[in-house]
Every structure is written in C-alpha cells, then in structure tokens.
Amino acid sequence: MGCYENKKMKAAIFYKRGGIENLKFDEVPTPQIGPHDVLVKVRACGLNHLDLFTREGSHGVRAPLPHVGGLETAGEIVELGSRVTGWQRGDRVLIGPAITCGVCEYCTSGNDNLCPQRRVFGVHLWGGFAEYIRAPASVLIAIPASLSFVQAAAAASAFGTAWHMLVTRAQIKPGEWVLILAAGSSVGVAGIQIAKHFGGRVIATASTDEKLVKAKELGADYTINYAEKNFLHEVMRITANRGVDVVFEHVGTTTWEKSIASLRPTGRLVTCGGTTGRFGQTDIWSLFFKQISLLGSYGWTTQEFFAVWDLVGKQVFHPIIDRTFPLAETAAAQRYLTERKQFGKVLVVD
Ligand SMILES: [Zn+2]
C-alpha cells in the first residue's frame, strides 16, 4: 500500500460544465496508481485555450465529470507502480500529451497524434491543475537539467505544435516568407523561433506594439500591429506584392480570408486551431488559380517530439513565460488567458 492511498489533494475541479464560476478549488481523492502508472507531484502546468473549451463543454469537447483540466504538466515522480521500470522517485518528468492505443494504422505508421483511441491529459483524463497527476510510465518524458519545471511545461505543447505545423506539414525551406499570426501566443512564440531556425523570413502580427517588440527580439524580421493596420495590406507591402510562402494560422474566423489572400501562388496555409471560431470563407477561385494548399495540423507525433525536445534542452529554442499563478488561483489564470494580454505561456505552479 503506497503512502498516497486514501490521501486527499487540492485540485481545480469542475462538477458541471459552463462558465468560470463552475471551476472550484477543492479537496479530492489523490488518484490511485495501477502497476504500470506513476504518481507525479505537479510543479507546473501550462494553460491552453482547450482548457477553457473543456470547462465550457464548447467546441465539441466533452470531458467526463467531475473533471480536472490542464494539458501541459511537469513535475516529479513520487510513487511508482509495481511493474514500472526505468524511472525512480524524484525524476523530473513531463506528462503526456496523450495515451494512444499503439496498434492502430496511425500509431503503427508514426502518426500517433491521429490515433482514434487517443485520450488526452486534461481533456479525457485528469490533467495537471492539481497537486498530483496519475499517468502510465509509457507517456513520461525526462526533463533535461537545463530546464526548470516551468520552462518544461511552457515549452512542450508550443514547440511540439509549431514544429508539426512548420516542419512536418508545411515543410518550410530556407529563404521562405512565413507569416506568423498572433505572435504573442505561446504557439506563435514557438513558430517564430522554429521558422527562423530553418532560415525563414518572418513577418509576425500582434495586437500591441509591446508584443511586437518582443516578437522582434525573438527573431521576427517584420512586425504588423493588426489592431491598427490591415495585415493583408501590410504583408503585400513588405513582400512587394508577392505574398508569403507559408501562413501560420491558429486564429480562425477573424483572420481566415486575409490569411488565404496573403499567400503567393503555391503558398501553404497551415492551421492548428481556430480560437476565434471554426468557420471561415475560402475563396475557391484563388485556391485553384494560385494552387494554394490548406494544411491541417493536429498536435505532434512522439517521434518528432524527441527532435524538438532535444533543441529545447540545448536551449536553441527558448520557452517564453508570461506569468505564473498559484494552483489555488487557476480560475484567475483562466480568466487572464481569455483577456489575451499575454506574451508567451501562462502557467499555474505548486
Ligand atoms: Zn492508435
């Protein structure tokens, strides 16, 4: 019998879906581990827009209730199941992002991000907005000594997502023009760094000049304040009416038409989300006569993550932290995320 059995833990939990008032900071039973699991003391957990959708029950996300969100968790192992090998108490680990089946056509072809059985931590499984999290040892990733818990939790999803978008899906090449939308988001911050790493020429957009200064510091060659200027006109001015080779989309409805119009012939739009809405008009004429490609991108594969994580560990890529909140203030952290004032990652720590 482990010393965490019958123990309670603090967690940001919701018993029904809906507004922020449903998120309670409560005492709940600490998860019990099975023979192949570990129990991890959460030290940092990154916030994601998906946490808001999960709590609201919006965007088709239906978590089982009651639920603890939090997709991007870093912590240290405090208890190991009887069959777990290769890890020990005190190891610093990243969780997730998901449990996959390992046998389907996607898992066996290196596309485990598309596994239909995929269960995501913080969505289908309890996540990291808690003192402890249970996970099978098979999903653990060691945190290099060069990274703090906060840096590790801030880097994983942002760089994994941006790498899958730019490297795997859009196949970025040196010298290409890349338009990074909403550069203040954590995925935008990662997108700028990855595009520059592969020799891209980066145009970054953000809503304030303060964010644009930071985007430049990360390597953006040109910046556009989209709150003040039409970003399509600015893209065309900067590229002398050529357009960009790649648009890095995750904004959705409010930018979609202009994003497509920003592409040069044979350009690629790659998107990993639509935080402002899921529908946008596509100009079918420009799609065919410019031979544009619209590319969807979902998460990242286990295989490519090791390449990304190596570069994060070697500090080639830098996770950018906007601010942290104590675990007890997870609701305030989620409210802050909806205000979109951040540059980089917002996290809760414990
Ligand atoms: Zn599978």
Tell me the average pLDDT of the chain. Answer: 96
For ligand 1, the distance from its centroid to the CA atom of residue 109, given in whole angstroms, is 10
For ligand 1, the distance from its centroid to the CA atom of residue 110, given in whole angstroms, is 10
Q: What is the mean pLDDT of residues 48-58?
A: 94
Q: Mean pLDDT lowest for which of 50-64, 148-162, 243-257?
A: 50-64
The per-residue pLDDT for 104 is 98
- State how far the Cα of 345 lies from the Cα of 322, in Å rounded to an integer: 5
Q: What is the mean pLDDT of residues 155-176?
A: 97
For ligand 1, the distance from its centroid to the CA atom of residue 303, given in whole angstroms, is 14
For ligand 1, the distance from its centroid to the CA atom of residue 296, given in whole angstroms, is 19
For ligand 1, the distance from its centroid to the CA atom of residue 107, given in whole angstroms, is 4
The per-residue pLDDT for 213 is 96
For ligand 1, the distance from its centroid to the CA atom of residue 114, given in whole angstroms, is 7
For ligand 1, the distance from its centroid to the CA atom of residue 100, given in whole angstroms, is 5
Q: What is the mean pLDDT of residues 113-120?
A: 96
- For the stretch 272-316, pLDDT in tens is 998 888 899 999 999 999 999 999 999 999 999 999 999 999 999
For ligand 1, the distance from its centroid to the CA atom of residue 165, given in whole angstroms, is 21
The per-residue pLDDT for 2 is 63
For ligand 1, the distance from its centroid to the CA atom of residue 111, given in whole angstroms, is 8
For ligand 1, the distance from its centroid to the CA atom of residue 108, given in whole angstroms, is 7
pTM of the model: 0.94
For ligand 1, the distance from its centroid to the CA atom of residue 64, given in whole angstroms, is 21
